[in-house]
Structure 1
Amino acid sequence: MTTTRPFGFWTATALVVGGMIGSGIFMMPAALAPFGWTGTLAWVVSIAGALSIAYTIGRLAQELPQANGAVAIAGAELGELAGVLIGWSYWVSIWCANAAIAIAAASYLAAVIPVLGATPARGALTAVALLWLLTLLNLAGARRAGQFQVLTTILKLVPLIAVVVIAAWLGTRGEAQLPPLPAAGTLLGGFATAVTLTLFPLVGFEAAGVAAERVRDPARNVMRASMAGTLVTGLLYILVCSAIVLLLPVATVTQSSAPFALFVGQFWGTGASNVIALFAAIAAIGALNGWVLLQGEVPLGMARAGLLPAWFGRVSRADVPVRVLLLSSGLASALILTTSSPTLGGVFQFLALLTTCACLWFYLAMCVAALRRRVAIPAALVGIGFALFAVWGAGWEASGLSLLLVASAVPLYLLRPRAVVKPQLA
């Protein structure tokens, strides 16, 4: 018999960690290298902000354990229009992120198997193939996707652990030469931008809350999985990213397209560098699996809450939103194919920034919903301040475009059902 709540604590935590540890962290040292110690401080602020929002979402899940996920909670507390706009923004951010992660995964695989990325078109086709393989896995049901997530979460920790081991080894031998702390007046230079950059690899901490409909005992497990996954991953991020940024020359890290492989290769040789590149590809594929799962869950939860037309609420006999999965992966595939060019690295960075901005509106909505319900008020206030600061740090171009994408959901609001729909078989 198929259960509609196949995720226990460990699978829900794997979903959180798997969604966070993807392509973002493996590219982040190169982006943060110019910031030096300021980047380390930015990590602390971003992790604190993410934990505040994760706690807020977890408390809302405890208050409303029967809700169809966090997006449905936002709609219930803030009104139908706000629910549609925020949910649509979050869904757009997911399939945009999937396009970026698939591109990164293909790039990492090409570092090990060069023929896969011999031309930009071949690299794009590899990315599309990875996306659809994981879409097929999710079409088989949430349970199989969750089991795959646990496996890839374990494997993807290898590159991060390797960096920690090397850093600890250098420390015990007295060979770790850290740069001096900057003067107090320069420490905060570019701080807002650094905070926004460090937030991108943390996006995904809300995964258990968004997929709460699939989590057993959500009042207990959503909170535990969200807090544990965010804290453990955040601390690991500080260690590995700071080690690479602070122990290697700034110019070398900034110019590297694979800073983790660069760091490991510097101390353990080329063979180890290639192994790390392979595990980085596994990390990106694991993250892609988690986000492919969520790209179906978000519109499904909204449709079941009556916030989207019934078309989005149709599921297969395995309770899988087949139509929405196919639509989302189709849009992500189109984005990949239309951006296949020699500047895919720049495309990835733009998509990452856009993804982060779109998520920030969702985070703001959840915190405001908590205030309206008088739940986790201190954490919600911290989350609102952090999200607004991150939006400012992202710049007007990315935040403005994300607002336009939010507004594109208005026609769907006008087509919404007048009553909550029940799940229908496709």
Structure 2
Amino acid sequence: MGVVQLTIITVVNMLGSGIIMLPSKLAQVGTMSVLSWVVTLGGALCLAWVFARNGMFSKKSGGMGGYAEYSYGKDGSFMSNFTYGLSLVIANVAIAVSAVGYLAVFLDITLKPIEVTFWVIGTVIVTTLLNFGGSKLTGRIGSVTVWGVILPVVILAVLGWFWFSPSMYAASWNPHNVGIFDGIASSIPITLWAFLGLESAVANMDAVENPQKNVPIAVMAGTIGAGIIYILSTNVMAGIVKNSALLTSNAPFGLTFSTMFGGWAGKVVEGVMVLACLGSLLGWQFTIAQVFKSSADEGYFPAIFSKVSKNGAPIAGMTILLVVQILLSFMTISPDLNKQFNVLVNLAVITNLVPYILSMGASKTIQLSAGISKHNMTFKVTNALAVVAAIYSLYAMYASGAEAMVLGSLVTFFGWTMYGFVSPKFDLDQKEIDKANKEAAATEAEAN
């Protein structure tokens, strides 16, 4: 691939189903959330640059887990894999909530909280079962349905300005009279949610012409491109639809297109976005199972996650992850679908930031191990950006709120506990283990 093709892939990877509920969340802050977009775009660019450099020089497999291993050893690698895998599971439920919200508006029905939960559960069950046949069909469906999100978002970002009202936008700047720093902090997690996945942009570097030059260009350009589309689409919407309407909408893009072109357009957008969510969820169900499988292959997770069917589908792992998603659906039940979505997003952001921070911390070691000179200017710039990206990530954790921080901390400590049970595989020499087992057996025999 050339740099243009890789840039397009990078943009498409980020412009997934995560954006479709953003406007309703951002309406809680008002249009001053544009400041959060600017801050998040800056943080995302720093992250993207360091991920690109890590991907170019790392000799270890496993993505962010491989990066973390350079500085933190197997325990850091385990924690990176554990929190990243869990964040994807949580994100799946959030995507399912988005799909149900749009579907309810599309069908013009009102769902009670428990009904929303059962619809969400039904969605994750169906998308899991469809993956039992293997990945080929999943990939084909996802490559088509993703445009159900991308096209409406891009159309709105480009054409929406013909319906844009500057006075409506200005009136929505700070509708709830919150402090500017509080407003920025409260919308940081939801804007970062839109950029999650930027680390996957380096996955195709083996198929890229001149990767040392083109990968950083594509990652940075792709992140900037996605950021511009995000900022334009969500902000133009705030000048088309009143803040109070966006705040309570379960299908904000459908509402906006209805306002612009009429009810028929809104229905079309709602329908294609439901399909996009389902297609995205279908792909993520298989991807998450693969993430857990690769971790199991490394010896981090139970061997059951490594088992695959004749079609190459990790059915046992998918089934276990399905149970976890069902439990999450019940745990986050809420009278307000937007609130349920927010809880899931904040927790997904917290757990996803753990491997981000570990990857940033390992950047210097990765470069040094590749023979990059300490006096190299790019080496110094990368280290500086890694520090900025780590600080931004920590700030995003703080901005996710006390509840998400507590839950994320519990998850992380549980991960450390789990590592204790698998650590003998990595932290003890096999000869020492065999010797200890023989001594224990001899002692038991003498006692008998």
Q: Distance in 2 between matches of 1:273 and 1:187?
A: 33
Q: 2:47 maps to which residue?
A: 53
Q: Distance in 2 between matches of 1:108 and 1:26?
A: 9
Residue 365 of structure 1 pairs with residue 371 of structure 2: no
Deviations 1:272-303 (A, max 9, x none): 11112112212322332343233123222323
Match of 1:418 among 425, 432, 445: 425
User: Which one has the largest radius of gyration?
Assistant: 2
DSSP 3-state at the match of 1:315: coil
Matched ranges for 1:19-98 at <5 A: 20-22=15-17, 24-64=18-58, 67-98=61-92
The match for 2:12 is 17
Residue in structure 2 matching 1:131, options 124, 145, 162: 124
Shift of 1:239: 0.5
The CA distance in 1 between the partners of 2:15 and 2:55, in whole Å, is 20
Q: Which moved more, 1:310-319 or 1:85-94?
A: 310-319
Structure 2 counterpart of 1:293: 286
| Inter-partner Cα distance in structure 2 for 1:15 and 1:143 | 21
Using the alignment, how far apart are the partners of 1:304 and 1:345 within structure 2?
37
Does 2:433 align with 1:398? no
Note closer, same or farther for the CA distance 1:235–1:293 as it changes in structure 2 (3 Å cut).
farther
After superposing the two structures, state which structure 1 stretch, 144-153 or 355-364, moved more.
144-153
Partner of 2:414: 408
Q: Please give the alpha-carbon distance, in whole angstroms, between the structure 2 residues aligned to 1:153 and 1:135.
A: 18
Give the whole-Å Cα distance in 1 for the aligned partners of 2:218 and 2:304.
31
The residue that corresponds to 1:379 in the other structure is 385
Unpaired runs of 5+ residues, structure 2, are 368-378, 428-448
Q: 1:315 aligns with which of 308, 311, 333?
A: 308
1:179 to 170, 192, 202: 170
C-alpha separation in 2, matches of 1:235 and 1:308: 39
Q: For residues 187 and 409 of structure 1, what CA distance do their matches in structure 2 show? A: 36
CA contact (8 A) 1:149 1:289 kept: yes
Q: CA, structure 1 residues 53+286, in 2 after alignment: closer, same or farther (shift >3 Å)?
A: farther
One-letter amino acid of the counterpart of residue 142, structure 2: Q
Q: Is the 8 A contact 1:367 1:381 kept in 2?
A: yes
C-alpha spacing 1:371/1:215, structure 2 compared with 1 (3 Å): closer
* C-alpha distance in structure 1 between counterparts of 2:338 and 2:28, whole Å: 18
1:56-110 residue CA offsets vs partner (Å, 9 max, x unmatched)? 2222222135613222332344112222223212222111111121122122112
Compute the RMSD of aligned alpha carbons. Answer: 3.4
On the 8 A contact 1:58/1:222 being kept in 2, the answer is yes
Identical columns (%): 26
Number of matched pairs: 404
What is the Cα deviation at residue 43 of structure 1? Answer: 0.7
**Aligned equivalent of 1:240:** 233
Q: 1:141 aligns with which of 126, 134, 147?
A: 134
Q: Which residue of 2 aligns with 1:275?
A: 268
Is 1:168 the equivalent of 2:161? yes
Aligned 8 A contact 2:23 2:246 in 1: yes
Going from structure 1 to structure 2, the CA distance change for 1:134 and 1:58 (only over 3 Å counts) comes to: farther
User: Does the C-alpha gap of structure 1 residues 165 and 11 become closer, same or farther in structure 2, counting only changes over 3 Å?
Assistant: closer
Counterpart residue identity of residue 311, structure 1: I
| TM-score normalised by L of structure 2 | 0.78
